[in-house]
Each structure stands twice: as structure tokens, then as C-alpha cells.
Amino acid sequence: MASEAMDLDEPVRQGRGDGSASNNIIINNNNNNNNNNSSSNDVSSAKLAAMQTATKATAVRSIEGWIVMVTNVHEEADEEAIHDKFGEFGEIRNVHLNLDRRTGYVKGYALIEYTTLEEARAAIDGANNTDLLGQTVKVDFAFVRPPPGKATNNTRPGGGGGGAARGSNRGARSGRSRSRSPGAGRDD
């Protein structure tokens, strides 16, 4: 595959993982011999700017589309109110309003799926800090990568967490049996 010429504008990602540099191999597919290099850099920088959030995190596309999260949604909002407010920014593929089981009211957030990045960005720019049923809603991308240089609590690229480290003594017998009472069977 490396020997074949490919005419794609964007890099192809190979490998598994979250897209971090340690997990993926990026193959650059520009075969234009620097004839159009400045315009392709302008396009990629414009796309990158559209993917930036207010905190400089980079938006990530879900499998099916670009997901926008709306917070501080009024408890009596319904899908029709969401469609009326956000339909003007582009075609809405899906709306998810999570309901509280006990009360039956909206929990306070909505997830809206758009097909293109431009529609999602238009919704974020146009509806953030606006009024919906008497409450000011906040709108941003639902899935983001942290900004470069922001350290996370774990040292593994790509997340993880949860479970014990290799070589730990978790689950092994460590000094006392778990079936005994704390004071029973001591060898003092």
C-alpha cells in the first residue's frame, strides 16, 4: 500500500487507538509536489479552527456525525423545542433528551447530532448563551480531545485508568486471609 500513489487530501490513519501519535501511523497523501501547499495549509488550519472549542480543545467526530451538547436545558423542553431552536443551523440527524425516571422531566441537557462540522459549528456559534424556554443554554462539542500540553492523571496515552497496574498484589493473598475476622487467628 505504501508504494501505491494515493490522491487524497487528508492523511490516512492506520492503527488502533484514540488518534494519539503513539498509537497511530499517519501517512501523508499529498502528491501535489508543493504546487498547492499553501492553500492546503489554509484549508487545514481553517478546519482546525472550526474544530476548536472555547478551551482550545479539539472536537472529535463520533462514528455517525458531529455531536453537540446543550446544557442548562429547561426541564419541560421537548424535541420540538430543540428542533425549532437548532434546526436553523443545519439538518439535525438525531436529538437525544435524557429524562429523569422519577419525574419524567428532562435532566437538563440534550445531545444533537449534525452531519457536517460546519453545521455543528454554526449551532455552537449561533445558539451558545441564548435563551431556550426562559433559560440561557450553553452549547459546545460533546466529544473533544484535551488541548496540547494538558496533562491528564494517567500516564498512558489514550486513556485507561480503572484497574490495577501490572505486578500489583491485587487479588493475591497479601498477608492475611480475607475470610477471617480482623482479630481472629492472629499469631502474635
* Residue 139's pLDDT band (cuts 50, 70, 90): very high
| Position 117 in a domain | yes
Maximum mean pLDDT: which of 25-29, 135-139, 155-159: 135-139
* Residue 171's pLDDT band (cuts 50, 70, 90): low
Query: DSSP string covering the chain, please?
Result: --SS----SSPEEEESSSS-TTTEEEE----STTSSHHHHHHHHHHHHHHHB-TTSPEE---SSSEEEEEES--TT--HHHHHHHHGGGS-EEEEEEEEPTTT-SEEEEEEEEESSHHHHHHHHHHHTTEEETTEEEEEEESSEEPPTT---SSSSTT---SSPPTT--TTS--SS-TTS-TTTT---
| Position 78 in a domain | yes
Which pLDDT does position 63 carry in this prediction? 87
| Position 98 in a domain | yes
Whether 160 has a pLDDT exceeding 90, the answer reads: no
| Position 156 in a domain | no
| Position 183 in a domain | no
Start-to-end C-alpha separation, the chain: 69
> Over pLDDT 90: what percentage of the chain?
41
Q: Domain containing 96: what range?
A: 60-145
Which pLDDT does position 26 carry in this prediction? 41
Q: How many domains does the chain have?
A: 1
| Position 154 in a domain | no
* Residue 152's pLDDT band (cuts 50, 70, 90): low
pTM reported for the whole predicted model: 0.57
Which pLDDT does position 57 carry in this prediction? 82
Which pLDDT does position 80 carry in this prediction? 94
Which pLDDT does position 142 carry in this prediction? 92
> Over pLDDT 70: what percentage of the chain?
55
Using CB atoms within 10 A of its CB, is residue 141 exposed (0-12), middle (13-18) or buried (19+)? buried
| Position 37 in a domain | no
| Position 49 in a domain | no
Query: DSSP string covering 23-74, please?
Result: TEEEE----STTSSHHHHHHHHHHHHHHHB-TTSPEE---SSSEEEEEES--
CATH of the domain at 136: 3.30.70.330
Which pLDDT does position 154 carry in this prediction? 55
Taking only the tens place, the pLDDT of each residue in 18-66 is 554 444 444 344 444 444 555 555 657 777 777 777 777 888 888 889 9
User: What is the rounded distance in angstroms from the CA atom of residue 26 to the CA atom of residue 20?
Assistant: 10
Which pLDDT does position 146 carry in this prediction? 82
Taking only the tens place, the pLDDT of each residue in 81-93 is 999 999 999 999 9
